[in-house]
Amino acid sequence: MRERGATGLRGAELEVARRLDFDGLIRQAVDDFRFSYRSEAVRALGVLGGAEAIGVLERVADDPTSPLRSTARLALGRWR
């Protein structure tokens, strides 16, 4: 196993980090936060249940283009 350098990153990880710019890192952090926030909202619908919440979860779970599809399917698991 290769040693990590002073940055704590291995060779390939360090190369990726060197190609990133500050604005790109900020955009990625914001995108990650938004996805996490939406994912938690989908999970909350699964906890709440009810006809309207289940309807929303079913639409998301059945949408093959939704990045939240798997989260919605898991949330629906308790109601199906």
Spell out the domain ranges in the chain.
Answer: 11-76
Please check the confidence at residue 2 and state whether its pLDDT lies above 80.
no
Per-residue confidence (pLDDT) for residue 18, from 0 to 100: 80
Q: pLDDT for 33-78, tens place per residue? A: 999 999 999 999 999 999 999 999 999 999 999 999 999 999 998 7
The predicted pLDDT at position 1 comes to 47
pLDDT at 9: 75
Q: Write out the two tokens for 31.
A: 């995108």
Burial call 63-79: b when 16+ CB within 10 Å, e when fewer: eeeeebeebbbebbeee
Task: Give 9-34 pLDDT, tens digit per residue.
Answer: 778 888 887 887 888 889 999 999 99
